[in-house]
Amino acid sequence: MDKKFFIFIFSILSLNFFSQNILNEIVLKENFIVVKEKLLIKNHLDHIDYEDVLEYYNQDNELKDLDKNIFKEFKSKLKNEKSGFWNDFDFENSAYLTSFKEKLNLDNIKILSKKLNYSVEKQKQLIREIKKYNANVNQFRNFPLMISEPIYSEDKKHLIIGISHGNNGGEIRLYQKQENSWVFVLNISRWAY
């Protein structure tokens, strides 16, 4: 086999693994019930004036080291963003995938919440919320989450990810790699339904 082919396959696998870590570390801390359909974020970013965003967040000089060109880089990469669906293996058994307007299987969610070491109190709260959700799927507020694929900067030091909170709006977040973890920097965009 060709050496370039192995390098290509390794880079795809490592990026996929990298994405799994991001999804687990950032998104699934909030909610592990995820819509199978991936959120497209390019439409949410077309109208953004990044100068305004930075000016708003930079009032206390917090973002003075952030390179403004990073937004041009993200915008360029988002032109190729395609719709798609998550697979079970994308989350390494750390998320429950569902479809829009589909009732949630309480037994499966109980099993997963135990696997994720949710406290008894948090499990009870989740069960109450799911029963409400299943009673009126169209009125859900905070879950399921619909999330985008992470989009990385060329140097892999920054990423953006879109998160839609059920029927409760959403945002596109910028994260920065610091040592071995991803740190939230700012919300580039927010929306409400």
pLDDT, mean of residues 90-115: 87
Which is higher by pLDDT, 165 or 54? Answer: 165
Buried/exposed code over 8-41 (b: 16+ C-beta within 10 A; e: otherwise): eeeeeeeeeeebbebbbebbbeebbbbbbebbbb
**For the chain, how many structural domains are there in total?**
1
DSSP state of 101: T
DSSP state of 64: T
Q: Which of 150, 26, 145, 151 is nearest to 97 (CA)?
A: 145
According to the model, what pLDDT value does residue 105 have? 92
Give the whole-number percent of the chain exceeding pLDDT 70. 73
The pLDDT of residue 18 is above 50: no
pLDDT tens, position by position, 145-164: 889 988 888 888 888 899 98
The pLDDT of residue 16 is above 70: no
pLDDT, mean of residues 2-9: 42
Specify the pTM.
Answer: 0.77
According to the model, what pLDDT value does residue 63 have? 58
According to the model, what pLDDT value does residue 42 have? 84
Which is higher by pLDDT, 91 or 111? Answer: 111
pLDDT, mean of residues 20-30: 68
pLDDT, mean of residues 38-42: 89
Chain-wide mean pLDDT for the chain?
A: 77
pLDDT tens, position by position, 109-137: 999 888 888 899 989 998 998 898 888 87
Rg (CA), the chain: 18
| Domain interval for residue 10 | 3-191
According to the model, what pLDDT value does residue 120 have? 92
